[in-house]
């Protein structure tokens, strides 16, 4: 990753990055239907779209597509809308008194752009400084994945990850940087295959330049085995 380029982008955006609500825009009745009922409805909806496009839904290759897409929407790529799927962010006492920064980097992100319903693919880098609690490393990946599995904008996803970890760990000292490709930009529209989008959220101590610098330096480290 070209970290200096990334830092420039972060500086440019600063605190002025496009801010949307920290919450996904859901209606009050979002969970009145069961997941099974949602799958049944979306099945009909996708059928209708394909029919309108002129596809022959009796063809063996695509007759299962509406049901497949419906299940994928509800259980997989938008499964993170369901609060019951939220990972329990159990924390532990920091017995060894490790007081430095902990960085979990290169967490794979598969999300979906809420404007085009096309994939957002990239990496998240998450860090925190313990104030007494620590969290399991795989929990950090699970939290990232839970919020990614929604129709998203990258700025909101970045903020949600930080807020969730701040609440779980009882400290403001949490940061997240996401570098991701948006297929709505890369594969259609202006078809810029090289561009990626960087978003960042720096809480508490990470607002200090030196702490932020340390975090970004760790992201830059090559991990080899
Ligand atoms: Zn888009």
176 is catalytic: no
The reported pLDDT for the residue numbered 21 is 60
**pTM score, whole prediction:** 0.87
Residue 30 lies in a domain: no
Which domain range does residue 183 map to?
A: 3-17+90-220
For 94-132, write each residue's pLDDT tens digit. 877 777 899 999 999 999 999 999 999 999 999 999 999
Whether 200 and 105 map to the same domain: the answer is: yes
| Confidence band, pLDDT 50/70/90 cuts, at residue 17 | very low
Overall domain count for the chain = 2
Whether 70 and 172 map to the same domain: the answer is: no
Separation CA 174–CA 219 (nearest Å): 15
Task: Give the CATH number, domain containing residue 73.
Answer: 1.10.286.10
Task: Give the CATH number, domain containing residue 186.
Answer: 3.30.1130.10
113 is catalytic: yes
Residue 111 lies in a domain: yes
Separation CA 149–CA 160 (nearest Å): 12
- Cite the beta strand spans of 11-100 per DSSP E: 91-93
- What are the residues facing 122 on neighbouring strands? 109, 180
Q: Is the pLDDT of residue 219 over 50?
A: yes
The reported pLDDT for the residue numbered 141 is 96
Whether 109 and 189 map to the same domain: the answer is: yes
Strand order in the sheet with 101-113: 151-152, 101-113, 119-129, 174-182, 197-202
Query: Which of these is catalytic: 104, 113, 125, 155?
Result: 113
- Could you list the residues known to form a binding site, using ranges: 113, 116, 184
The reported pLDDT for the residue numbered 225 is 74
- How crowded is residue 53: how many other Cβ atoms within 10 Å of its Cβ? 7
Q: How far is the CA of 183 from the centre of ligand 1 (A)?
A: 7
The reported pLDDT for the residue numbered 96 is 76
Whether 110 and 127 map to the same domain: the answer is: yes
Residue 22 lies in a domain: no
Residue 24 lies in a domain: no
For 137-185, write each residue's pLDDT tens digit. 899 999 999 999 999 999 999 999 999 999 999 999 999 999 999 998 8
Residue 225 lies in a domain: no
Whether 77 and 104 map to the same domain: the answer is: no
Q: How far is the CA of 100 from the centre of ligand 1 (A)?
A: 37
In terms of C-beta distances under 8 Å and separation of at least 24 residues, what long-range contacts does 1-4 make, across chains too?
Answer: 1/123, 1/179, 1/219, 1/220, 3/216, 3/219, 3/220
Q: How far is the CA of 193 from the centre of ligand 1 (A)?
A: 14
């Amino acid at each position: 990753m070209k970290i200096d380029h990334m830092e420039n982008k972060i500086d440019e955006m600063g605190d002025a990055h496009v801010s949307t609500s920290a919450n996904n825009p859901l209606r009050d009745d979002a969970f009145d239907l069961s997941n099974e009922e949602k799958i049944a409805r979306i099945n009909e909806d996708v059928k209708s779209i394909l029919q309108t496009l002129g596809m022959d839904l009796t063809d063996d290759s695509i007759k299962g597509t509406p049901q497949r897409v419906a299940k994928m929407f509800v259980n997989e790529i938008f499964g993170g809308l369901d609060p019951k799927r939220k990972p329990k962010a159990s924390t532990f006492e920091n017995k060894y008194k490790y007081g430095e920064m902990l960085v979990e980097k290169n967490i794979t992100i598969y999300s979906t752009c809420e404007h085009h319903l096309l994939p957002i693919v990239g990496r998240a880098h998450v860090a925190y400084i313990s104030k007494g609690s620590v969290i399991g490393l795989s929990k950090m990946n699970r939290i990232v994945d839970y919020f990614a599995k929604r129709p998203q904008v990258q700025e909101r996803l970045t903020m949600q990850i930080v807020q969730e970890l701040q609440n779980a760990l009882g400290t403001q000292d949490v940061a997240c940087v996401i570098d991701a490709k948006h297929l709505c930009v890369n594969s259609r529209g202006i078809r810029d295959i090289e561009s990626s989008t960087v978003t960042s959220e720096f809480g508490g101590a990470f607002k200090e330049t030196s702490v932020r610098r340390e975090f970004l330096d760790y992201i830059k480290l090559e991990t080899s085995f």
